[in-house]
Chains A and B, each alone.
Chain A
Amino acid sequence: MINRIVVGAHYGLRDWIAQRATAVIMALYTVIMAAVLLIVRPASFEAWQGIFANGFIKFVTFLFFVSLFYHAWIGVRDIWMDYVKPTGLRLTLHVVTLAALVGYAAWAAAILWRL
């Protein structure tokens, strides 16, 4: 096969917006958690457990982790796109990254709802 330069995948905008939206979600979560920790001032394991027993906190924490992993997916994929040229190797790295991040998300859910 001849090696012609091919561009025009017609995506990128959604990822660009998602990277910004997830950044905002993570920033908001940081503010919410800072406020909660300042108000509750947990000093024991039970107090920390109490915070995360709350359904809302569980939800926003999970949302934070999903945002983090989506954000990381776009950033790490950008690194592969910049520095890894062979298509097969790049695709493999994409799949490995995705698998790891989906695994982390499931792990985060398991930890949160085990409490």
Chain B
Amino acid sequence: MSKRMVQFSIYRYDPDKDDAPYMQDVSVELEPTDRKLLDALTKLKAHDDTLSYRRSCREGVCGSDAMNINGKNGLACLQDIDELKQPIVLRPLPGLPVIRDLIVDMTQFFKQYHSIKPYLINNDPPPERERLQSPEDREELDGLYECILCACCSTSCPSFWWNPDKFVGPAGLLAAYRFIADTRDQATSERLDNLEDPYRLFRCHTIMNCVDVCPKGLNPTQAIGKIKDMMVRRAV
């Protein structure tokens, strides 16, 4: 890969200075070693340090640099830049309040995450070494525990856009099932009670935007389906 110019159209908004958000057209020359979108953003920020976005690990583990890339949510650090159609349109994650440029206020997202009690509830005295699971029981947690809470899924979900205060959202529900499915957890019934609500769980109409955008390849829709299955088994 050679040196190349890449065109961007970036959402800019500084509430201290701007009356309204606007799209800024910029271009940047990339080196052959610049492969990911985050590499380009780093270059852009070197030219204009007012450009604001979150980033940390730069390898898809921390989930900080989630943004809307050409209309689809994703992580800048995992996105190959040469796969993108130019000009590359960067916007903040949809549906959450913008703090500045590509930085959104995630309070609502984490409120929903906390509401499902994302920790193991077990009132038995802890054993000497650890609470053991069979390999089969442990397998059920695969595809659940890997979530990095980047919010790509929840902010691509129309149900979350319309009711972010009431609908838990795909990320929260994936985490909820992670603990419902855990054989070491003793609060299964309370967890199901907590979700049996027309808003908290049943706003999901399985349109699967969450599955489409998850940068870790997880499937919140399937987890939500499993929660519903467990509720049916409990009720019927």
Name the residue among A5, A8, A15 with the largest chain B CB count within 10 angstroms.
Answer: A8
**CB 8 Å contact bits of A75-100 with B (1 = contact, 0 = none):** 00010011100000000000000000
Contact of B202 among A5, A8, A16, A83 (CB under 8 A): A16
Taking a contact as CB atoms under 8 Å apart, the answer to whether A10 and B196 are in contact is yes
Which residues of B from 153 to 174 have beta carbons under 8 Å from A? Answer: 158-159, 162-163, 165-166
Taking a contact as CB atoms under 8 Å apart, the answer to whether B162 and A82 are in contact is yes
Provide 22 A-B residue pairs closer than 8 Å at the C-beta atoms, listed in order of the A residue: A7-B166, A7-B197, A8-B194, A8-B197, A9-B197, A9-B198, A9-B199, A10-B197, A11-B197, A11-B198, A12-B196, A13-B202, A13-B235, A15-B198, A15-B202, A16-B228, A78-B205, A81-B163, A81-B199, A82-B159, A82-B203, A83-B162
Cα–Cα distance between A14 and B198 once the two chains are bound (Å) = 10
Interface of A is mostly: helix
Nearest A residue to B165 via CB reads: A5
A→B interface (CB under 8 Å) = 5, 7-17, 78, 81-83
Q: Which residues of chain B come closer than 8 Å to A9, judged between CB atoms?
A: 197-199
Closest chain-B Cβ to A115's Cβ sits at a distance in Å of: 37
Contact of A13 among B162, B194, B228 (CB under 8 A): B228
Q: Which residues of chain A come closer than 8 Å to B198, judged between CB atoms?
A: 9, 11-12, 15, 81
Cα–Cα distance between A67 and B193 once the two chains are bound (Å) = 28
